[in-house]
């Protein structure tokens, strides 16, 4: 009886050791996509009035957790019974990410006349602000869903030859750490100016160096957000392009002479432009009938 009892503990210890080792490997494999995830979500979480940044970010983070809780069981089931379906699902997600990236570039050059800036949003009613927030949160959660699929599938690919318990533990840990890590860093970024104002308040008139550091943090926030907006847009195109280059041999063979990052960016841009043209054509043809 005692021997069997300790044997169970030995099996559990072995499982945890294997899971820990594979989690480390899976985390390294997904490091690139996590960087893209950070840039995309930082851009998505910006543009709100200061008092609403943390509530909005918390709403997006909760949506991210729910995304992963939905994706994980399906990922394990598909890996076990329908492994051929993983790639088509990834490519559909890639089209969506490429479309979002191309749409952002299009809107930069051809902005909507009703587009609101952060300053204008401050003059809106609470109901209008909440309506804008709801749309941005929904968009951020949808984008997170696509990126979460990519993270989970890449992590799953590193442990696909392991037992089901190891797969479940390792991939689940990577998925949860991705959400905590990414949105934790995003929270720090969007509150950068608050830290700066606090330093200025503490410094007063006596500590010039501390006050200067606070001013730099305040001045840095808009630059960081603008930079992350550009990086986030490029990240969506890169992730989408990477999905197609890694899974469509014809594209990979045609662009294999280019540097990997350039090939992925070019592929993502082409897919995004095509998806954007389809969307614009669809809206031009069918929108009058829907109104």
Which pLDDT score is estimated for 33?
Answer: 56
Q: Does 154 score more than 80 pLDDT?
A: no
pLDDT tier at 162, thresholds 50, 70, 90: confident
- Give CA–CA dist 98/274, Å, rounded: 9
Which pLDDT score is estimated for 275?
Answer: 94
Domain positions in the chain are 15-190+223-290
Q: Which residues of 102-138 are buried (b: 16+ CB within 10 A; e: fewer)?
A: bbbbeeeeeeeeeeeeeeebeeeeeeebeebbeebbe
Which pLDDT score is estimated for 131?
Answer: 80
- Give CA–CA dist 82/76, Å, rounded: 10
pTM, two decimals, is 0.68
Span 14-58, pLDDT tens digits = 444 545 555 555 555 445 555 556 666 666 666 665 666 778 888
């Amino acid at each position: 009886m005692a021997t069997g009892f300790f044997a169970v503990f030995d099996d559990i210890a072995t499982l945890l050791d294997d899971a820990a080792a594979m989690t480390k490997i899976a985390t390294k494999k997904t490091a690139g996509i996590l960087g893209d995830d950070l840039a995309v979500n930082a851009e998505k979480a910006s543009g709100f009035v200061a008092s609403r940044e943390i509530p909005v970010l918390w709403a997006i983070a909760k949506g991210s957790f729910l995304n992963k809780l939905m994706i994980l069981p399906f990922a394990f089931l598909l890996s076990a019974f329908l492994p051929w379906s993983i790639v088509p699902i990834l490519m559909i997600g890639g089209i969506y990410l490429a479309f979002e990236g191309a749409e952002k570039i299009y809107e930069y050059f051809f902005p909507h006349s009703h587009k609101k800036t952060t300053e204008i949003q401050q003059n809106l009613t609470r109901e209008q602000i909440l309506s804008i927030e709801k749309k941005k949160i929904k968009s951020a959660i949808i984008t997170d869903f696509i990126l979460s699929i990519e993270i989970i599938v890449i992590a799953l690919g590193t442990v696909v030859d392991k037992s089901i318990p190891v797969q479940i533990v390792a991939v689940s840990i990577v998925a949860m750490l991705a959400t905590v890590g990414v949105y934790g860093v995003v929270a720090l970024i969007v509150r950068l100016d608050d830290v700066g104002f606090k330093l200025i308040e503490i410094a007063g008139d006596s500590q010039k160096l501390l006050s200067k550091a606070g001013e730099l943090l305040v001045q840095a926030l808009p630059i960081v957000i603008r930079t992350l907006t550009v990086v986030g847009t490029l990240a969506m195109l890169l992730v989408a392009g990477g999905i197609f280059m890694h899974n469509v041999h014809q594209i990979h063979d045609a662009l294999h002479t280019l540097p990997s990052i350039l090939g992925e960016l070019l592929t993502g841009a082409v897919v995004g432009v095509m998806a954007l043209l389809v969307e614009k054509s669809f809206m031009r043809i069918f929108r009058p009938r829907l109104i």
